[in-house]
Chain A
Amino acid sequence: MASVFEYAPAPESRSVVDIAPSYGLFIDGEFVEAAEGKVFKTVSPSTEEVLSEIAQAGEADVDRAVAAARRAFEKWSALPGSERAKYLFRIARIIQERSRELAVLETLDNGKPIKETRDTDLPLVAAHFFYYAGWADKLEHAGFGASPKPLGVAGQVIPWNFPLLMLAWKIAPALATGNTVVLKPAETTPLSALFFADICRQAGLPKGVVNILPGYGDTGAALVAHPDVNKVAFTGSTGVGKEIARTVAGTRKKLTLELGGKGANIVFDDAPIDQAVEGIVTGIFFNQGQVCCAGSRLLVQESIQDELLDSLKRRLSTLRLGDPLDKNTDIGAINSAEQLARITSLVEKGTAEGAEPWSPECELPSSGYWFAPTLFTNVTQAHTIARDEIFGPVLSVLTFRTPDEAVAKANNTQYGLSAGIWTEKGSRILAVANKLRAGVVWSNTFNKFDPTSPFGGYKESGFGREGGRHGLEAYLDV
């Protein structure tokens, strides 16, 4: 994109990862065929190259996996916490050892830049296992009573935007607390979960403690509805979250939901512009904006709108879009054709409703799923693009005059997952943070994650928290 400085390509080698032409389901410590023999293909979003053929789990497979997890539960939950901890520490270590391989794999299967898988996803994945490993033998100190008990079999359904990280968020606390799991990765990104199965094997994890069932929404639905599942954890869209909440109604299943968001990134007139611009870019263009807590609504104080937008546009012009395996790439591919179509249609709607789109000059690769970073000005709260989650590299810019107006606009959404505040003034940060209805508030930073810190939403962004001491509650009988 940049015309002055052309970068030489700096591709990360894909030889570090060996993808088999086909994978089975991982049930009871073994890779097995799906009972109905169904398979599906997973492709690399940046090239549309078929990476592998994956067994597709059906209801009979869900039965088998839940039964395996149930059998494993008795022994696993009875292990001393210190022994469970050691398994989790082993897993954390193996993830670190294999992190380059896993980063390349994740980039191939998901389309996100290697820079992000290498520097964000994988370190956080290992850190989550380390963090929860340490809890396994300290649960009596976690504040949930003297001897908190695991729930049993956890059915977990995760999305495609952070495949391995979401797996870590789900599996690490579940195992630390003594539950066994059946996890369904997303149909477009099943590979890292299947590689994780191999890590479980290397770590010597007892059979049946972790089971992986690739498949589509119907597989997830069968898992969530299975009568022998005690705990359901889901990360994904608000629409599906509501369906799941209806499915578990009237049962004793414990439920946590991490759903959509429409995060407001609020920039006050005294904010340091350069840092704020970086935060805005991180907020919405990290992982191509395919982040539930993305700062997809920029609320900028009217008096600095022009200055900020000039800076922002200048900065966007330096973003490099292209081969995700290139270490210089900032913006990778959209995860799937389906997601690309959704982004495209919402952006068209934004234009049709009168908002003004802007993108830097940007050449899109000829194959794969791509969307240029886009920002919309002239957006009002009534516009679809200011209300609906786009889940793509699209930023809607709105303005405000007073802090109260900023708060009112920030909260004017069904969601309540994240928000950002940019100001020099400490009291303003605290006052605004207090009034925002969001589970995570980043002040003078954005999109920071850490295993010690609870993450989760208010309102229709779901309930329950993942991460930190709070994240244990979801897997304990409290």
Chain B
Amino acid sequence: MSEKNEKTEPRLSVFKTYKLYVGGKFPRSESGRVYEVTDAKGKWLANAPQSSRKDARDAVVAARKAVGGWSGATAYNRGQVLYRVAEMLEGRRAQFVQEVADAEGLSKARAAEQVEAAVDRWVWYAGWTDKIAQVVGGGNPVAGPYFNLSSPEPTGVVAVLAPQESSFLGLVSVLAPVIATGNTAIVVASERSPLPALSLGEVLATSDVPGGVVNVLSGRTAEIAPTLASHQDVNAIDLAGADEILAKELEIAAADNLKRVLRPQPVDNWTATPGTDRLTAFLETKTVWHPTGSLGASGSAY
């Protein structure tokens, strides 16, 4: 009889402990804090780590460490790694559909559209890694016996405040271009809906993306962002997820080391095909000159 009873009892599900993704590892917030994440109707979904300023600084250290390897990888290799992320995302589609549906209060069908667009977006950016230099770089016809080439290079460590409303497609749309071009990123997830971002960390960890290239923090955007905006070892900041007042404050802080700032852009429709703006926003242009004088008697010329 007891056997029968057990069968009628519903199985107790296993909750997931969401953790940060920093330096290729999954730490809890050093502060030991969490906050309640609810679905669109207010039902409790999980506790997310509430990152501290120290977590943000740790993430910067991890991101800086990863710059050399990631920016030094061939563009082809980076494309392969990004495409691998898309493969992993595709395989965990159902999970993300559920999380996005919960986070944004969407029907399964609408959430699926968002997730599919995000996967496709990731594939799109994977294809950009070895093309952007050809599109925005080039040789310049200087008026003199010189040869010069302008090439784009990653600016370095980029802090990304993910859009608050679009928890997954918006997140992918701002993160993928940053790393496609060889930067490393510290992402502050949507404050109200951080779970898809934290799950993305699990995908990245299994996708050949080197640890530290992407670091995901969850918590209060207004608490974490000022540390990133004023951090002297952060080279750029994308303010997509900041409101007007916070964005201004962060832009002022960013001036301290002349970070590259991408101001919040109004986005009506995250599914629209993006241009190259988000790729070029975090690139520098380096122009290298060399003389092309005719050869002297020694066979040498400068």
Contact = CB atoms under 8 A, between A and B. Distances in A.
Interface string A243-278: 101100110100001010000000000001001000
Q: Which DSSP category, helix, strand, loop or mixed, fits chain A's interface? A: loop
A18 B240 CA distance: 54
Chain A interface size, as a band, is 35 or more
B287 A439 contact: yes
Nearest to A468: B140
B144 interface: yes
A213 B143 CA distance: 33
Interface in B118-143: 135-136, 138, 140-143
A230 interface: no
A469 to B, nearest CB: 8
B140 A452 contact: yes
B141 A452 contact: yes
B260 A445 contact: no
**Considering the complex of A and B, which 7 residue pairs feature the smallest CB-CB distances, nearest first?**
A250-B248, A245-B255, A249-B251, A450-B142, A452-B140, A453-B140, A249-B252
Contacts of A441: 286-289
Contact of B285 (A238, A433, A444, A470): A470
A249 B261 CA distance: 10
A360 interface: no
Nearest to A470: B285
A195 interface: no
Interface string A89-108: 00000000000000000000
A463 B235 CA distance: 11
A468 B258 contact: no
A246 B289 CA distance: 34
Interface in B257-283: 257-258, 260, 263, 275, 277
Contacts of B144: 448, 450
Contacts of B260: 463
B302 interface: yes
B289 A448 contact: yes
Given A438-B286, A444-B302, A452-B142, 17 more contacts: A242-B255, A245-B258, A249-B252, A250-B248, A259-B258, A441-B289, A443-B288, A445-B289, A445-B290, A450-B140, A450-B146, A450-B148, A453-B140, A453-B142, A454-B285, A460-B257, A460-B258
A459 B285 CA distance: 12
Contacts of B254: 245, 249
A28 B150 CA distance: 38
B231 to A, nearest CB: 14
Nearest to A443: B290
Nearest to A242: B255
B247 interface: yes
Contacts of A453: 140, 142, 148, 150, 287, 289
Contact of B302 (A243, A275, A433): A275
A76 to B, nearest CB: 26
A429 B290 contact: yes
B223 interface: no
B258 A463 contact: yes
Size band of the B side of the interface?
35 or more
Interface string A138-178: 00000101000000000000000000000000000000000
A429 B148 CA distance: 13
A440 B142 contact: no
Contact of B300 (A246, A250, A272): A272
Nearest to A449: B142
A468 B286 contact: no
A23 interface: no
B302 A445 contact: yes
Contacts of B255: 242-243, 245-246, 249
B244 to A, nearest CB: 7
Given A249-B255, A272-B300, A448-B146, A143 B135 contact: yes
A445 B258 contact: no
A445 B142 CA distance: 14
A456 interface: yes
Contact of A439 (B140, B146, B286): B286
Contacts of A118: none
Nearest to A244: B255
A313 to B, nearest CB: 21
Contacts of A448: 142, 144, 146, 289
B150 A459 contact: no
B208 interface: no
A424 B290 CA distance: 12
B256 interface: yes
B284 interface: yes
A442 interface: yes
B258 A440 contact: no
A9 to B, nearest CB: 31
Contacts of B256: 242
Contacts of B302: 272, 275, 444-445
Nearest to A130: B143
B181 to A, nearest CB: 14
